[in-house]
Amino acid sequence: MRYDKGRKDVTRQRILEVAADRFRSDGIAASGLAGIMSDAGLTNGAFYPHFSSKADLVRESVAEAMDGQANSMREIIAAGGIDAAITEYLSPEHRDNPAKGCTLAALLPELARQPLEARSGFSERFLAMTNELAAALPSHIENREEAAMSIYATLVGTLQLARTVEGADLSDRVLAAGTNAARALANVQRGSDA
């Protein structure tokens, strides 16, 4: 039986969404294709008409997740500035929901071990996100790209630590320390981007 193109696109999108969630929550290595396809409500045989390999799925799902993250960041900055983006990124809600959170914080160590095919496009998207953040920083910061990279490194590292340490109190303290450090790098005071 043949299906129209629209159905194939919907199926592909569903696989990408499920894979992105599974990779962020369970890790790439721990997420098998059978489990991803089952979660998507599909059989294993439905995988190959959409993707040539797991590496292909990793590449495309990470790219899509990063694009979504960039769009979200753009909207938050437009509505509330850099401080709002920092506050939301380092929130307990973000910490507690890795499957729907930042791809970088969830997958960086595993992405570094993936074949080049799976990592292609990552650097390009990271630089695009960095450039957008840099453009939103106060104009008096001399090297805004370097500041933006430092902010991202602080945000990602803080979120990873906050998710890893034992106990809510320590985790909350890690989030607060990272928030203060990111604000200092962005040269903003709480509630202000000037």
Residue 162's closest CA among 79, 118, 84, 97? 97
The per-residue pLDDT for 192 is 52
Digit-coded pLDDT (tens) for 105-115: 999 999 999 88
Grade residue 1 by pLDDT with cuts at 50, 70 and 90. Answer: very low
Determine, yes or no, domain membership for 29. Answer: no
Report if residue 46 sits inside a domain: no
172 within domain boundaries:
yes
Collect all residues with Cβ–Cβ distance below 8 Å to 67 and sequence separation of at least 6. Answer: 125
Whether residue 181 lies inside any domain: the answer is yes
Sorting pLDDT into bands at 50, 70 and 90, what band is 189? low
- Asked if residues 86 and 147 have their Cβ atoms less than 8 Å apart, the reply is no
* In the predicted structure, residue 3 carries a pLDDT above the cut 80: no
What b-and-e string marks burial along 174-191, b requiring 16 or more CB atoms within 10 Å of the CB?
Answer: bbeebbebbbebbebeee
Domain-located, residue 88? yes
49 is written with which tokens? 């008409």
Range(s) of the domain holding residue 123: 55-186
Structure tokens at 193: 């981007």
CATH number of residue 102's parent domain: 1.10.357.10
Q: Which backbone phi and psi does 124 adopt, to 5 degrees?
A: -60, -45
State pLDDT tens for residues 108-137. Answer: 999 999 888 778 788 889 999 999 999 999
Residue 12 lies in a domain: no
Write down the pTM of the prediction: 0.86
Cα–Cα nearest to 125, from 60, 67, 71, 75: 67
User: What is the token pair recorded at 77?
Assistant: 């900055």
Domain count, the chain: 1
